[in-house]
Amino acid sequence: MRIRLPILLVGGLAAAPLPLAAQAPRPIAVPVVDSAALWRTFTALAADSMEGRRTASGGSARARALLLRHLRTAGVAPYGASYEHRFPISGRDTSIREGINVIGVVRGADTSRVVVVSAHYDHEGVRNGAIYNGADDNASGTAAVLALAAWYAKHPPRHTVVFAVFDGEERGLLGARAFAPKRGERTAIVANVNLDMVARLDKNELYAAGATPWPQFRPLLEATARTAPVKLLLGHDSDADGPGNNWTRQSDQGAFHAAGIPWVYFGVEDHPDYHRPTDDADKVNPGRYVNAVRTIADFIARLDQSLDDLPPPSRP
């Protein structure tokens, strides 16, 4: 949900190195998305049996079991001692006192810089007998993170990538806030790529937010857009976009933004089924969803290749 708040290097030569402008570009190993597996995971997470994946519910536990099974089967290592990272929840609703993030890691050759690829798996649960399946929001992003983690487990990146599936986003980015460092804390995390609502490309459009506060990402996003199988649009990351259209703090990237960590957020515009019991898998065009995930995978590969060359962030 969006909460409505304000590699391989080319072999060296014996002669002196060529100037950067004359060097051949490094090849990019773009993840190959297993479209059938992606769709199976997506539809399983959005099924009635998951009962809307409300935090601390039986449906949430079933969804989490699916996440854990996928990470273990893919050979993705746990982040720390366990895949499950619990955090306390306070508030008037005494039925929810704990959330559980599911986090894995694929270590790269360079472990000094870490990219966090994230999505939230919780949704709204059951209301008045209606199941809010949250297919687009956010079974779509969760399934994509699992697909990317599975590929990178077999094709390690240059830099370490943490694959984080957060709980409690619908209650105020709680899982992401529990995970993200506080501003000023020392951390190896240098970027967050967050996926929330990436399946309903009704007009074949996918948005990438983050290039306005973090302009170092703009060339990578523009390069991704030039070859993307969907229409990749940049925006929704500034108050100039109008009331309610600045997505900076409206999903889990907001927790990283608060910490001063650069981020890119991929998502679609709101649609008539947003936060309604009609947000179901049968509303999604499978081909467009797969192409959206391929586009995101392309950007992540470009980010991994270029991370050492990006200018340091000017923290907003």
* CB atoms closer than 10 angstroms to residue 257: 24
pLDDT tens, position by position, 11-42: 332 333 334 344 445 567 789 999 999 999 99
Query: In this predicted structure, what is the pLDDT of residue 93?
Result: 85
Q: Which residues pair with 163 in a beta bridge?
A: 104, 117
CB-based contacts of 197, cutoff 8 Å, min separation 6:
1, 2, 136, 137, 138, 140, 141, 267, 268, 274
Are the C-beta atoms of 66 and 182 separated by less than 8 Å?
no
Q: What's residue 103's pLDDT?
A: 99
Q: Residue ranges per domain, the chain?
A: 37-307
Query: pTM value?
Result: 0.91
CB within 8 Å of 99: residues ≥ 6 apart: 55, 56, 86, 87, 89, 122, 167, 168, 171, 174, 175, 178
Chunked mean pLDDT (size 10), the chain, 316 residues: 40 34 58 96 99 98 99 98 97 90 98 97 98 99 99 97 98 98 94 99 98 97 98 96 92 97 97 98 98 98 94 63
Of residues 228, 267, 230, the one with CA closest to residue 250: 267
Q: Tens digits of per-residue pLDDT, 260-311?
A: 999 999 999 999 999 999 999 999 999 999 999 999 999 999 999 999 988 7
Peptide bond into 138 cis (omega under 30): yes
Q: Which fold has domain 37-307?
A: Aminopeptidase (3.40.630)
Strands 110-120 and 159-166: parallel
Nearest residue to 52 (alpha-carbon basis) of 63, 42, 41: 63
